[in-house]
Amino acid sequence: MKTVNILYSNIKVDGNELAFVFPLFFNRKRLLRDHQIKVNFFTDHEDPNLLNCDSLMISSWYFGRKTKSWISNKNFLLNFLEQARKKVQLIWADISDSTGTTQFEVLPYVDIYTKGQLLKDKNLYSHEFYSARIFGDYYYKNFDIEDKIETEPHLKKPINSEFIPKLKLGWNSGFATYSQYGPYYNLLSYKYLNFSLPKIYPQKWTSPYVDRVRNISCRIGYNYNRETMKFQRQKVKEMLSSQVDTKKISRSEYFEELRNSIINVSPFGLGEISLRDFEIIVSGGTIMKADCSHMETFPNLFINEKTYLDYSWDFSNFQERVDFGLNNLDLMKDLANNCQVIYKNLLTTESGHQDFCLHFKRLLSND
């Protein structure tokens, strides 16, 4: 049997860290029974039992958001990793939003570095990207978009080529619950992590083939502190201004609109993947999103004209792609169905749960 301890911050009741922790909790009995992997959860790096394991997996939020060690005491963080690695297999789980905003300074001190979405060409990580994101760098270089704040140095450090083999694909933010009442279930799953809960993954999925009264929807915000993050959403809002209202509405109204819309535009935000993507899938809509072909992720729900409809980063074909979607609504429903089948199977079936367990097991074996 292999014992894996998980160190996480437990400071937020939804979002990336919940999607990191919850599938491990949800599948903990399955991992033990079928794969001989025992998973324990910790929220304190000083717990005397933390290193009583074969592998220690650390959420990047723990030292990033809870102890704030990157800002207050980076030497403490790196020393902790160095000492821990002498006793256990050490895995750093980068749970940030994008293919960028990396923390490569930890690489000399860990065995494995996982990330929910990675650049397919990992050699690109040897470059420094403006705003620490490849798409932010693109808008800076091609549209002269500049941020008003500096990027934290530890988020944009290029990788040394010798450490590229340590980069492994983790799992993305899709493993939380994104139904209309998802935030309430997420709150329960965080607060009562060590207690039995009812099935928490979405149990009510809207078929893509139900009658829908709207052809296109796009409810987005862009209240980001970086201009390079705002740009894509502002541009989409501008280009759709004569076709749809993009202002945010209440959560109940929003989900009602999702369930009644065929095409749902979902631009990049802090990262390529948005929580909105998963809400669209559960609601049976088609995702229209900027080209994601540069990225690998798990689960991969972004295969152009199979599971979503793309447009180019420079928006040169944006209206053309909107028109293509509107003129091929039956195809859009098929894309939505393809995407929903993949996602629903992963979250709600035994074979899907085993897929996650095997993915986790491969990470531990460092294959």
Is the same domain home to 211 and 142? no
pLDDT tens for residues 196-252?
444 578 788 999 999 999 999 999 998 899 999 999 999 999 999 999 999 999 999
Is the same domain home to 296 and 354? no
Count of domains for the chain: 2
pLDDT tens for residues 118-167?
999 999 999 999 999 999 999 999 999 999 999 988 899 999 999 999 99
Report the C-alpha gap between 191 and 186 in whole angstroms. Answer: 9
Domain-embedded: residue 339: yes
pLDDT tens for residues 252-274?
999 999 999 999 999 999 999 99
Per the structure block, which two tokens stand in for 357?
């367990």
Strands 295-297 and 117-119: antiparallel
Nearest 5°: the CA angle 65, 343, 248 is: 60
Q: Which residue has the tokens 């009812």?
A: 198
3-class secondary structure, 152:
coil
Domain-embedded: residue 29: yes
Average pLDDT over residues 318-340: 98
Closest to 83 measured CA to CA, from 110, 59, 64: 110
Is the same domain home to 229 and 282? yes
Domain-embedded: residue 193: no
Q: Which amino acid is at 286?
A: T
Is the same domain home to 206 and 264? yes
Per the structure block, which two tokens stand in for 322?
């909107």
Place 194 in a pLDDT band, splitting at 50, 70 and 90: low
Q: Which residue has the tokens 């014992």?
A: 3
pLDDT tens for residues 298-325?
999 999 999 999 999 999 999 999 999 9
What count of Cα atoms within 13 Å lies in the side-chain half-sphere of residue 15? 13
Domain-embedded: residue 191: no
Is the same domain home to 144 and 225? no
Is the same domain home to 137 and 28? yes
Q: Which residue has the higher pLDDT, 107 or 195?
A: 107
Per the structure block, which two tokens stand in for 40?
């324990």
Domain housing 44: 2-174+349-365
Is the same domain home to 361 and 265? no
Place 195 in a pLDDT band, splitting at 50, 70 and 90: very low
In contact, 20 and 174? CB cutoff 8 Å: no
Domain-embedded: residue 34: yes
Closest to 254 measured CA to CA, from 184, 181, 316: 181
Domain-embedded: residue 143: yes
Question: What CATH number does residue 141 fall under?
Answer: 3.40.50
